[in-house]
Amino acid sequence: MICSQCGNTLAEGAASCPRCGAPVAGGPATTAGAQPQAFNFDAQRWSQAERITGVASVVLLISLFLPWFSVSGTVLGQDFSVSVSGTTAHGYLWLVFFLCLAIIAFLVLRAGFQALPFTVPGGPEMALLGATAINLLLVLIAFFVNPSAFAAGVGWSFGAFIGLLAAIAACVPLALPVLRARTARS
């Protein structure tokens, strides 16, 4: 059998696709009177891309609270150094925080149910790709909008680099299959 949503090869009698979670027509989950499925966490249900995305999203979430920008100088003969987190420097990065939480929650649901208890427009992979792409865009903007325009001597700190790398790592494994599929069609 072949999944009608993602084209994955399915085992006979499968209730849902293990790759995208789409219910299989005529499978046990779609029969009349079927009981709602219980939550049973199994990380084996994640694809390699989803594992990378999950880890990178956790790292991105943590990086938002690390120092993103720092200022060093001397005032009245006293040396000082001040650093600010990503969410302090750019309040809109709270959107990245909530998107990371949503990505993590979505991945936990994907690992907990053989078939998601709800449908996702465009499929689960496209929803994850969209969320990670928005995160990447917002992190890129935050990375390049350096507060040095407002104060001299402002530089990037390690949290900004970790956040940028994590946002890229979360998006790329989901984007590559889409880009390959589009290239193959051309």
Q: pTM score, two decimals?
A: 0.74
CA 40 to CA 16: how far, in whole Å? 14
What does the pLDDT look like over 130-162, one tens digit per residue?
999 999 999 999 988 876 655 566 778 899 999
- Residue 18's domain spans which residues? 1-35
What does the pLDDT look like over 61-101, one tens digit per residue?
999 999 988 877 777 778 877 888 889 888 999 999 999 99
- Tell me the CA end-to-end span of the chain in Å, nearest whole number: 27
Query: Taking 60 as the threshold, does the pLDDT of residue 177 lie above it?
Result: yes
Same domain assignment for residues 93 and 11: no
**DSSP of 117-148, one letter per residue?**
SS--TT-HHHHHHHHHHHHHHHHHHHHHS-GG
Same domain assignment for residues 89 and 120: yes
| Average pLDDT estimate for 1-16 | 72
Same domain assignment for residues 24 and 109: no
pLDDT at 6: 65
Three-state secondary-structure class, residue 150: coil
Query: Taking 50 as the threshold, does the pLDDT of residue 31 lie above it?
Result: no
Closest CA to 123 of 170, 182, 178: 178
Same domain assignment for residues 121 and 161: yes
Number of domains observed in the structure of the chain? 2
Same domain assignment for residues 98 and 141: yes
CA 49 to CA 107: how far, in whole Å? 11
